[in-house]
Every structure is written in structure tokens, then in C-alpha cells.
Structure 1
Amino acid sequence: MRWRQSVIWRFAALVFLMQIVCVLVALWAVHQFTSRSVDEASRAVAVNLRDDIAATYAAAGLQAAGATVRSRMTADPDGSSIMLLIAPNGRRIAGNIPGWPTNVGPSENWRRIDLRRIDQRTRYPQSIGVVSTQFPDGTRLLTGHVVENDLRFGSYLEAALIGAILLAMPLAAGAAFFSAAIIRGRLRSVIDTAAAVGTGDIKRRIPLSGSGDMFDALGDEINAMLDRITGLVDEMRLVTDGLAHDLRSPLTRLRAVLDSALRQSRDEESIAALEKALDEGDTLLRMLDAALLISRAEAGIGRDNFSAVNVAALLDDFQDMYDALAEDKGVTINVDAPPGLHIRSHREILGQVLSNLIDNALKYGGDRILLSAWRDGASICVAVTDNGPGIAQEQRIEALRRFARLDASRHISGAGLGLSLASAVAHLHGGTLTLSDAGPGLRVTLTLPADHEPS
């Protein structure tokens, strides 16, 4: 699944797992601390009892030690202290457990076992920490402390922590999701800006939060890069406008001179040569206009002049415009476009594209041309279809390049810029241009974003 490959969601999963691991480590630490604290406290009580009774035994003998055991039992009504004194012959002298536990050796520093006291009211054994001692004459002493209640408290604490884990899991998931959403939101502004710039909105900039973090640093660098690109585009606009003016003027003067020479000429060969020169001059002017228009469209220049365009009405206008020329060539032009299709476009530039496509269809197509449009989701498709020989699949990429002249069209005048201009204008509108087989013929389709609020 794609979300498993997403860095953002992997980061969110890492945040979630780290929080759960932290809670589990805390649970383990509490368990260890509680168990160790209980053992240390119980061992201290057992050792104190042992030392007290052992001191009495060393000073006054077995019977005095037994009296000390009994007095200690009397002073401990809750029975939390465990004591047992066994004579060398195995006789029980005093204590509050029935006999020597089988799982306890004669001399052990500390051990936790389950035992029942004599005065215990419940029938279940309790957890007890004990210390055992054997004196030189064979007398054995067992002292200890009941840790059942302390362990029960520890288990309650652990249960509470387990409940905290169960509560922490949705909170950790929420925190991870929130963290991922923050990162996703910051990256989304970068992506949206890049997408807008990619469609030609070079004035778009990444909003900065002012936090000075790495996202702001990235946004600041990208904005600086976009400022530089904007400057270059403005410079290119000045250069292209100047180039258009500088080249158009001498070409226009050249055409005027040729036209004047044509009117004054009386020789048929000279007239034919001058007419051919005039045609070439007109071709040069059209090539210049188309090349400059392509460069400006690819740079995103002209988007500021977009307005709502009724596609069906536009295609009807072009049918009326080309009907007479098409009739002279024996070609019929039909329109298939439902009403209500609107796009935001530079009408003159789009009109130039449609004019070029219809010219191509008249030159290279058959005897039928269809101007059609339809809605495709959030897009409007505008197509010019002919029933001519078409363009082979392997040549379609070449046909979209500037000044491309396929072998079948080299004997016909033209600049090879019609399809290249259409592709650049489609990019200017944030759309695409596709060439497809009309079976027979060629279908050139402009897919452009629909205008949902036409003016």
C-alpha cells in the first residue's frame, strides 16, 4: 500500500511506537523498583528479627530465645512478622508457622516463599520473604516478613499502568497523526506552490510561518529561486517583445518593397518571382509570430488576460470563418459541441491554435473536418478531427517539436509550428495536448480545465 511507503506516515508510526515503548519501559521500571523495594524492606525486617533473637540466644540460651520469639509475636498482632525457632533435636520451640519449610535451607540470606501462618485466617498461603540461620549447636532460626500486601499494591500499580498504556495508545496515535498532519500541512504549501508555478503562476510564493525552522528555510530558498526565475521571465519578455519589434519592422519593410516592385513590374517571370518572395516573406512573419507566441506561452505569459470563453460559440465562429475556404477545397466542416461548456482562456491565443489546427486539417486531411467539444470530469476537451492519412504513432512525438516537418508534408508550405504552438498553449492553460487515431484520420485534442463560474 502507498501509505506504507510514505515517509510522513512512517514518521507518524515511529512517533507512535516510541511513545508506546516509553510507557512500556516505565511499566517495567515501576515493576522492578516496586519488587526491589519490597524485597529490601522485607529483608531488613527479617534481618533485624534474626539479629535480635540471635543476640538473645547467644547471651541467655535457647529458652530465652524462645521467650523473645513469643514476645515478638505478641507485639505483632497483625502477624506480618514470621518467626520459627527449632531445637537441635528438631523440636519446635516457638514460632507462628507450623514447621520448617521444606524448600528453605538451614542458612539462607534471603528468599521469597509461599507459607501459611498458624494464626492465618485465610486458607491460601501468603508470599513471605525469609532469612534462615543455623547456630553451631544445630539450633535453627527462621525469620521473615509478609510481603503479600506490598506485592498486591505493586500489582495494583502495574494494573493501573497497563490501563494507562491502553489509554496512552489512542493518545499516542492521535499525537502521531497530529505530528504527521503538521508536517504534511507544511509540505502541502510547498507542493501547492510548486504545482502552481508548474502551470505558469510564477508569482506564487510559499507562505512562511516565521518560526525560522527548516521548513521556513526551505521555503525561503525556494521563494528566492522563484524570484530569480520571475526576473528571468520578465527579462525574456522584454527580449522577445524587442525581438518581435526589431525583426517585424525590417520584414514588413521588405514586404512593402516587394509589393511595390510587384506593382511596377511588367515581366511575367519577375512578377512570379516577386509573388514567391512575398509568400516567403509572409511565411517568415507567420513563423516569427508563432515562435514568439510559443516562447511566451511556455513562459506562462498571457495568463493574466484569461477570461471566460464559450467553447461551442467559439467553434461555431470558426466554422463560419472557414466554410468558404473549405468549400473551395471540397471539404465539409461540422461542429459537435453541446452548450454550457466554458473555459478560462486567452481567446486570441486559443483562436490562433484552432486556426492552425484547421489549416493543418485542410492541408493534410481528407474531405471532412469535425470541430468537437465535450466535458471530461473537471476538464473540457476540444478536438479537431479529419479523415486524412493521419500521423503514425511513432512520429507523433516528432510532430510536436518546433519546426518539425514530417516526410508526407515537406512538399506543402508551412513552418512546422502549428502542433508545437498547440502544445505550448495547452501548457499555458494547465492542460494537455494529445494526438490520436481517428480511424481514419488524426484527432488533435486539447484538454483544458473547465470554468465552473463563467462570467
Structure 2
Amino acid sequence: MSTNNHDTPVEFQEAQSIDFSMVLASAVHDMKNSLGMLLNSLDELRQEQGQLIGESSRFNTLQYEAERMHNDLVQLLGIYRLGENNLSAHIEEHFVPDFLSEHMARHTPLLEGLGIGLEIEADDENGFFDEDLLTGVLNNTINNAIRYTSTRIKLTASEQQGFLVIGVEDDGDGYPESMQHSGTPGFKSLDFKSGSTSLGLFFASSVAQLHGDGDRTGSIRLHNGGSLGGGVFEIWLP
């Protein structure tokens, strides 16, 4: 028995016209919020149970992986909004040492549980940037540094060549040569087959480019060395 378009239920025809990317974005947004609530609960549990929880490798792994997934979802939403031309930077003035101290406070419980030291070396500078977007970049970068460092992570900030340069350093083995670069990786260069898509770097470079001053725009730089001898991530903001 054959069918034609006239036999297709109206509900099915409407379903076919759904913007699937919007459905995915909505689902990702819900998952991000749920993971945010889970992370808050884990923080509260760590405070309630104190040393008993803090020294549990399974609990620390659970919190680390939940944080990593939360960061990934934040980036996916940002990239979706970027593709929809709906992502912009709301630039405001911030005192950089205070901004970085807030990040250190957020990550300190997990880092202490993992036996990783975190320090700040920041000039007394005011910076002009979108706090939420830069928070997303730093959360992902710190989470990545946790994975590859040996014992220490350092947040840095300084003025260089008329740019505010915020860095995340670690004392691990550093970035492989293929990842060390300056500038912005293109979306078409991301390799989804290898399992290492560098979406975090694409998101970070996109955020940097949203910060501009005249003919100058932000960028990211990856190299090895720094004061800890490992990997160094830098975001340069005009």
C-alpha cells in the first residue's frame, strides 16, 4: 500500500520542520543547569564532611568530571550562540587580582583534595572584559591544567604591549608541539574523529576575538615554559 504527502499526518510534518539545533541547545542548557546544581551539592557535601570527603579520590574524581562536563556544556552553548550571531561581549571594568582571587576560591577545595597547589601572580591592573565569558574560558583552562599538572597551577596577569595578558601555567609536561601556536584555530580545523576536538581552544579564541579596541582584537597563545616549566595558556585582551 503506497502513501504520499497527503497521507502524512500534520503532526509529523510539523515535527520534520523543527530546528533540531535549537532542540539540542535547549537540552544542553537544561543539562548545564542540572550539573550546576550537582556541583553546588558536591561543594556543600565537601564542607559538611570535611576531611573525610576531601581525601576521597573517588569523590574528587566525581567533582572533577562533573566540573569538566559543566564547562563543556557552557562552551557548546557559547559556540551555538556564536553560530547564531547571538554572542556578544559586555565589556566592563574589573580589578584583575580580585577577579582571579574569586577563581582561586572556587577551585581551591578540589585542588586541595587532589594535592595541587594554586597561586596567583597578578599586577595591580584594571581590565576591561566580559566577566562571564572570561570565567568560562578560565574554568575550562584551569580544569584542563588540573588534568595535566604535577603539583602546581599558577594564575598570572600583566600588561604587555598594551594588552591585558591573563595566563594559566602548570608544572606538567607542557603542550605538544602541534598545539603550540598564537592566533585563532578555525572551526573547520577541529578534528572530531580523533577524540580531541580542541573545542575549548576554539571557544577561548572566539571569546578573545569578541574583545576589541579599535583595530586590535584579542587572541590566545599556547606555549611551554613560564615560571613552572610546563604548559602556559594566555589570553590577550586589548
1:448 matches 2:237: yes
Deviation of the 1:241 alpha carbon: 5.6
1:293 matches 2:78: yes
2: CA distance, partners of 1:282 / 1:316 = 19
Name the one with the larger strand percent: 2
Other-structure match for 1:376:
160
- Residue type matched to 1:332 in 2? G
1:332 aligns with one of 103, 117, 122: 117
Check the 8 A contact 1:297/1:427 in 2, yes or no. no
Any unmatched runs of 5+ in structure 1? 1-237, 256-278, 450-455
1:421 aligns with one of 178, 181, 203: 203
- Residue type matched to 1:244 in 2? A
Other-structure match for 2:41:
none
Check the 8 A contact 2:209/2:219 in 1, yes or no. yes
Residues 337-373 of structure 1: CA deviation (Å, up to 9, x unaligned): 1213322x22111101111111111111121111001
1: CA distance, partners of 2:71 / 2:169 = 24
Q: CA RMSD in A?
A: 3.7
Change (3 A) 1:415 1:310: farther
Deviation of the 1:382 alpha carbon: 0.5
Change (3 A) 1:393 1:334: same
1:142-157 to structure 2, matched below 5 A, reads none
Other-structure match for 2:214:
none
2: CA distance, partners of 1:300 / 1:393 = 33
Any unmatched runs of 5+ in structure 2? 1-18, 36-63, 212-216
Change (3 A) 1:387 1:283: closer
Other-structure match for 2:99:
314
1:8-407 to structure 2, matched below 5 A, reads 243-245=24-26, 248=29, 287-297=72-82, 301-303=86-88, 305-343=90-128, 345-396=129-180, 402=190
1:436 matches 2:220: no
SS class of match (1:371):
strand
Residues 128-185 of structure 1: CA deviation (Å, up to 9, x unaligned): xxxxxxxxxxxxxxxxxxxxxxxxxxxxxxxxxxxxxxxxxxxxxxxxxxxxxxxxxx
Check the 8 A contact 2:125/2:158 in 1, yes or no. no
Change (3 A) 1:428 1:289: same
Change (3 A) 1:331 1:301: same
Deviation of the 1:323 alpha carbon: 1.5
Greater shift, 285-294 or 332-341, is seen at: 285-294
Check the 8 A contact 1:426/1:433 in 2, yes or no. yes
- Residue type matched to 1:318 in 2? H
SS class of match (1:384):
strand
2: CA distance, partners of 1:239 / 1:298 = 14
Change (3 A) 1:415 1:331: farther
- Give the total of aligned pairs: 179
Deviation of the 1:392 alpha carbon: 1.9
Residues 23-57 of structure 1: CA deviation (Å, up to 9, x unaligned): xxxxxxxxxxxxxxxxxxxxxxxxxxxxxxxxxxx
Change (3 A) 1:339 1:301: farther
Q: With CA pairs under 8 Å and 6+ residues apart, which has the higher RCO, 1 or 2?
A: 2
Check the 8 A contact 2:101/2:120 in 1, yes or no. yes
2: CA distance, partners of 1:287 / 1:392 = 22
- Residue type matched to 2:205 in 1? S
Deviation of the 1:329 alpha carbon: 1.1
Other-structure match for 1:115:
none
The TM-score normalised by the length of structure 1 is: 0.34
- Residue type matched to 2:220 in 1? L
Deviation of the 1:394 alpha carbon: 2.4
Check the 8 A contact 1:297/1:425 in 2, yes or no. no
Check the 8 A contact 1:331/1:367 in 2, yes or no. yes
Change (3 A) 1:299 1:380: farther
- For the pair shown, the structure with the greater C-alpha radius of gyration is 1
- Residue type matched to 2:233 in 1? V
Check the 8 A contact 1:367/1:387 in 2, yes or no. yes
Deviation of the 1:281 alpha carbon: 9.6
- Residue type matched to 1:329 in 2? L
- Residue type matched to 2:136 in 1? Q
Deviation of the 1:298 alpha carbon: 6.8
